[in-house]
Amino acid sequence: MVDRRERPLIVGSGIAGLYVALRCRELGLRPTVVTKGRLEEANTRYAQGGIAAAVGPDDTVARHFADTVRAGAGLVDRAAARVLTGEAPARIADLVRYGVPFDTVDGRIALGREAAHTRARLLHAGGDATGSSIEETLKRRVLEAGIEARERTSLRALLPGGKEGPVPVLSAPDGSGIEVDQPRPVLVATGGVGSLYRQSTNPSVTTGEGIAIAFRAGALVSDMEFVQFHPTAFAREGAPRFLITEALRGEGAVLRNEAGERFLVGRHPDAELAPRDVVARAIQEELVRSGRLHVLLDATALPRDRLFARFPSVTNFLLAYGLDPSREPIPVAPVAHYMIGGVSTDLEGRSSLPGLYAAGEAAATGVHGANRLGSNSLVEGLVFGERAARQLRHPAPGGPAAPERVIDVRPPAGEGRPEERASFEAIRSALWEEVGIVRSGPALRGALARFEELARRTAPARAGAYAGPVANAALTAGLIARAALARTESRGAHFRTDFPRPLPAWRRHLGLRLRAPARRRP
């Protein structure tokens, strides 16, 4: 009989989930991958800029480490950053081994540059189709390896399961019922929360559900206040918020307001290549000042052949909407993009619960601090995914250290009311308007009250029932708002008008932990 510990369940099919599945198989395990959409439908697929690693002749691991720490606004876990930057080149070699077709020039890997990187260190594939190339390659290798992959299967809950790991509760692919599994190791690689915001670059599956389910099971989460907003998404009424990669600015495109002025010059020494939080807030201020819905990203000074060859996905998308970026500027605005926080893990992917692991965007290792360095996300899924896979093969006790401050959250008793799409849309609007790029105490308190009310109404009212997507969305949104309200300063991706400066006392991480409701007296 096969030991259940040799059959880990991997929830999510982005770069972290698929890579861990492949490595588990190579290490002799028999993993199963489940995903609530199609296997290829993950944030990884939409990553354009590239994947960061110090592989260039003028680059070093030390420079990559320094750039990562600098972008993180004083909160980067240095041990995690050393792991990320030091092991990144080896993980790139793994992708090459799996067949990812990275772009080359004269037989050498082509390297691009993005904001806050001091060297060109971004490997790309298919120009700006890097994420899609990686996702399709890993998907193909998973299927070729015969790894069990179950699409349209959702994780509904994690129940206590003892030393072998939690008990996963899954929904059947056809929606016909609930499947209660046996105890086994579980890796949460469900991605971020972007689709909980009304304006986002993320696919619809990224609703933070894995984080909510792990939290309900008792896992510690941290850094939930740090949601990164990408400064430049296509902003035209009736069109999708298509990501306009930061690498375009790395090639020389500039941002202008309606008067044609480069408004980032003088605001930051790196102008358009400043960290993402600086650029996103600068654009937001221009939008508020002008009353317009977008600023302009001007790439007209770039040679047309280079522009179209380097960024085929972006240029083809824009041409479909009647815009030639070599002749006219691109209307852009900030959107929700990346969740820095998530399930707290140590450097081996272990959560605070035995047998529960996390990797990729759903995990909080501390490596991004308060503001992720662009293109560190894909390589994070590989580096810490490798460590999680090895831990799954040879488990050992461990887990994350508790953050300097931990808030106990006592959820209200649920009413079990039917979930409605309108409630989900209300969450998305409240997050965007009140827990977005610019925040304030009153707005955060109002949003938190709404999220808690929705969580109370939709949470299960009886034992044996499991939270649905809206209840989990309300919980995750509430965790973001609660953490943002508690952090009474501005740092990195978290900015409050009532506390506009970073404070030394807040140079620490913030955790959230579930506490069972107080028992009623008889």
Inter-residue contact 299 to 326 (CB < 8 Å): yes
d(CA 131, CA 369): 23
CB 505 within 8 A of CB 491: no
Query: Which DSSP helix (H) or strand (E) runs through 135?
Result: helix 130-144
Q: Classify burial at 120, counting beta carbons within 10 Å of its beta carbon; exposed 0-12, middle 13-18, buried 19 or more.
A: middle
> What H or E segment, with its residue span, contains residue 310?
helix 304-310
Which is nearest to 16 in space by CA: 43, 36, 52? Answer: 43
* Closest among 336, 372, 375, 341 to 358, alpha carbons compared: 341
Catalytic residues: 276
- Which CATH code is given to the segment(s) 231-334? 3.90.700.10
**Inter-axis angle of helices 130-144 and 78-98, to 10 degrees?**
70
- Distance, CA of 114 to CA of 273 (rounded, Å): 7
Quote the CA–CA distance of 113 and 408 in Å, as a whole number: 41
Q: What is the pLDDT of residue 521?
A: 43
- At residue 342, the 3 state secondary structure works out as strand
* pTM, two decimal places: 0.94
pLDDT given for residue 305 in this prediction: 94
Helices 441-458, 421-434: crossing angle, 10 deg rounding = 160
Q: What is the dihedral of CA 390, 385, 87, 70, to 10 degrees?
A: -140
Q: Average pLDDT of each block of 10 consecutive residues along the chain (522 residues)?
A: 80 97 97 95 87 96 97 96 98 97 91 88 91 96 97 95 92 77 96 95 92 97 97 93 90 95 92 90 94 96 94 94 97 96 98 97 97 94 98 96 93 81 94 97 97 91 85 96 98 97 97 74 41
Dihedral sign computed on CA atoms, order 412, 417, 418, 422: negative
CA–CA gap between residue 190 and residue 37 (Å, rounded): 11
Best CA proximity match to 514, nearest among 479, 488, 464, 484: 479
Are β-strands 330-339 and 295-298 bridged in parallel, bridged antiparallel, or unpaired? antiparallel
Q: Is residue 8 a contact partner of residue 184, using CB atoms and an 8 Å limit?
A: yes
Q: How far apart are CA 239 and CA 232, in angstroms?
A: 14
By DSSP bridging, strand 221-222 and strand 510-514 are: antiparallel
pLDDT score recorded for residue 44: 93
How much is the CA Rg of the chain, to the nearest whole Å?
22
Task: Please choose, from the candidates 192, 273, 228, the residue with its C-alpha nearest in 3D space to the C-alpha of residue 494.
Answer: 228
- CA dihedral of residues 34, 217, 189, 512 (deg, nearest 10): 160
Classify 434 in phi/psi space as left (phi over 0), alpha (psi -120 to 50) or beta: alpha
